[in-house]
Amino acid sequence: MLPLLFIACCGYFAWHAVHGERGLVAMEQRDQEIADARIEQERVMAELTSMERRVNGLRGERLDRDQLEERARQLLNMVGRNEIVVPYGPENRLF
């Protein structure tokens, strides 16, 4: 009876070592989630860098006139006299 109880306990702990909350299967899933999160972080950091570059062009003594004009036209929905406007649908946004 004692060897049977010992084998049952070993089986119980072995099953939980593989399939349990902190087992090998869960570890692989966490590693995949971490890899996905790092990829997402890199994408967001690239987007943040791009936005910071654009904002710095509109700040202080180094005013980038092209970015200022682009932003003003976008907000005011205006164009110059000699410019051609090409309409497009909302699903084809440029930015």
Indicate yes or no: pTM above 0.85. no
CA distances from 39 to 9, 35, 82 (A): 41, 6, 44
pLDDT level of residue 74 (50, 70, 90 thresholds): confident
pLDDT in tens, 1-47: 888 999 999 998 888 888 888 888 889 999 999 999 999 999 999 99
Q: Give the C-alpha separation, 95 to 89, whole Å.
A: 13
Contact 57, 64 (CB under 8 A): yes
pLDDT level of residue 94 (50, 70, 90 thresholds): low
